[in-house]
Structure 1
Amino acid sequence: MSEQPIGIDELLERVRLGLDRVTPQEAYDASEAGGLLVDIRYAALRERDGLIPGSLVVERNELEWRLDPQGSHRAPEATSHDLRVVVICNEGYASSLAAASLRQLGLRHATDLVGGFQAWRAAGLPVVV
């Protein structure tokens, strides 16, 4: 018996039930405490809006390979499955799906930023243009 197809809205809702999503201030605090902010926005958005200082930029299509602590293509920052990872997209949608994927790899503290980069910027947190 196969599962019934679901729409993206329901998928997103289901995925978010397993995440402890964070506010911009909580994301900032996590980075100050040694957590890793991972910016998955595409280049045009980063060029237009700027970057969060200290964040790791990883294109979405490379995310799992770069963040897997056991992977041969991992980023130097991907040191442990216990690492607190906050995934950031533009508005907080794609990042939820990305964080859920990282959790499937065993990164049990992976989550995402509610409202994405736009919420970070609106909160007045640091941005490098």
Structure 2
Amino acid sequence: MTTPPLQTATDAGAKVADGALLIDVRSAGGRAAHGEIPGATLADRNDLDALFGPAGNPAISLDTPVVVVCGSPNGSGPVAEALAQRGYTNVSHVDGGFPAWKDAGLPASDPVEVPADPTPAQA
């Protein structure tokens, strides 16, 4: 098995524009704090079966181009490797993760602003 390559955010964005499946494996908190990628498919890095089906019965064709993004390559790398172990032949992940994606000017929403400590109204 070949280790899935890291791609620059620009190259990953081009691959997605050409039809690759973009998988965002960041937590809901990470997406809320830093922003989201419009059109990305959200996946739980600990439950790949939910999106991809069981390893022996894939729900997505094994030759589908897949780009994995997380907050950093440390999060996306293990997911990309797990997909390669399942037989996916065209998997890569984003060097620098979501911060690099956003810094490259690729589509990304702004973070959701959450009040630091809402105070109840005084009666």
Quickly name the TM-score band, shorter chain normalised: 0.7 to 0.9
C-alpha displacement of 1:63: 2.1
Amino acid at match of 1:33: D
Query: Is the 1:40–1:87 contact (alpha carbons within 8 Å) kept by the matching residues of 2?
Result: yes
Query: Is the 2:7–2:94 contact (alpha carbons within 8 Å) kept by the matching residues of 1?
Result: yes
Are residues 98 and 64 of structure 1, via their aligned partners in 2, closer, same or farther at CA, if it must alter by over 3 Å?
A: farther
| Secondary structure in 2 matching 1:38 | strand
The aligned runs of 1:19-98 (5 Å cut-off) are 19-68=4-53, 70-71=57-58, 74=59, 78=60, 80-98=61-79
Query: Is the 1:64–1:101 contact (alpha carbons within 8 Å) kept by the matching residues of 2?
Result: no
Considering only aligned residues, what root-mean-square deviation do their CA atoms show, in Å?
Answer: 1.9
Identity value in percent:
34
Amino acid at match of 2:92: T
Query: Is the 1:22–1:112 contact (alpha carbons within 8 Å) kept by the matching residues of 2?
Result: yes
- Cα deviation code 1:91-126 (max 9, x no counterpart): 111211110110010111112111100111111211
Which structure features the higher share of helix residues?
1
Q: What is the number of residues matched between the two proteins? A: 108
Where relative contact order (Cα < 8 A, 6+ residues apart) is larger, the structure is 2
* 2:84 matched residue in structure 1: 103
Ranges in structure 1 where 5+ consecutive residues have no aligned partner: 1-14
The normalised TM-score by structure 1 is 0.76
Query: Is the 2:3–2:84 contact (alpha carbons within 8 Å) kept by the matching residues of 1?
Result: no
Structure 2 CA distance for aligned equivalents of residues 41 and 125 of structure 1: 17
* 1:8 matched residue in structure 2: none
Ranges in structure 2 where 5+ consecutive residues have no aligned partner: 111-123
Structure 1 or 2, whichever has the larger Rg, is 2
Amino acid at match of 1:34: G
Structure 1 CA distance for aligned equivalents of residues 51 and 25 of structure 2: 12
The normalised TM-score by structure 2 is 0.79
